[in-house]
Amino acid sequence: MKLGKYHLSEKPVFMAPMAGITDKAFREIIRLTGGKYVITEMISDKALLHHNAKTFKMLDLKGEEEPRIVQLFGSEPVPMARAAEIAETYGADIIDINMGCPTPKIVKNGEGASLLRNIPLAIEIISEVVKAVRVPVTVKIRLGWDSSTIVALELAPMLEQAGVSMLTVHARTREQYYSGKADWEWISKIKARIGIPVIGNGDILSPEDALKMVQLTGCDGVMIARGALGNPWLIGRSQYYLDTETLPQEPDNREKLRILIQHFEKIIEYKGERTGVQEIRKHASWYIKGMRKAAEYRNQIMKIKSYQEMKTLFSGIYSMECPDH
């Protein structure tokens, strides 16, 4: 699949942009475990234009493999275009626009999934962003605000006409958030409507799910979100499965703990001890899920406040879970 100057895999597998998850450390872990295509956390156009230091750290792409994909969100055409220019200057190879985030604090400002209720504004934003940058512009949408206002089918051709290079469809409405079942049939319908690549998203929890979505919908690739929490291998394993139709082995506890420790070191490197210790707690809880003493380990992880203590605990868990090492 071609996106701008980039020749991607025939059926690319993307790690979805996730607030508080897909930071620099996690993006590097995804690539370390075999994934190729990752996207930044969604970044506010206004925060960039106001030179917010924390937001600019989210835009740190140094040393990352291409294509470097930055996702932006906002509700006004000109600020979004200016933010896209900034992202391009900072090394973005592809700009993705968020029109699917369902969280109240985003939609109350007319951003994210709220744009599905204002199609003229959505198209105006895309048109301005496409004009402002030289790199491909992609969009991530949901089906509509709720089941009675499905707009994806009419919106998709308009986005293509406005210059969008690829469209990702999360096959749920805003009202569903992440509950219920993603309706993949809509992905098929949208794919039949437009000529640009369509990426399917929703309920992919295994490489088998990824292949099933491609086969059932005819989509050009897939995007995985919650399935990769504590399981970054899912991106690379799914990509390998789509490329070769050979199912790679699942990581064992030794591999999970080895990557957890590397993940921890990366967060510490990029965010410092205090933030790093706080942020690794949620990731560690996901990594150790299914281990014999997971609940006990989780309780200990939540109490620890220093880098050294956390590192000692992880080493101890490793010894317990991998005694033959």
Catalytic residues: 101
**135, two tokens:** 């790199």
In angstroms, rounded to a whole number, what is the distance separating the alpha carbons of residues 21 and 10? 27
Neighbouring-strand partners of residue 139: 97, 167
Give, in order, the Cα–Cα distances in Å from 83 to each of 43, 96, 195: 9, 12, 27
**Following DSSP, what letter does each residue of 205-220 receive, concatenated?**
-SHHHHHHHHHHH--S
DSSP H helical segments within the chain, as ranges?
24-32, 45-49, 53-58, 77-89, 104-107, 119-132, 152-161, 185-193, 207-217, 233-244, 253-287, 294-303, 307-321
* Nearby residues of 92 by Cβ (< 8 Å), 6 or more positions away: 59, 61, 68, 69, 70, 84, 135
CA distance linking residue 37 with residue 197, whole number of Å: 15
Please tell me what DSSP assigns to residue 180.
S
- Greatest Cα-to-Cα distance within the chain, rounded to the nearest angstrom: 62
CA 127 – CA 124 distance, rounded (Å): 5
What residues are paired with 37 via a beta bridge?
14
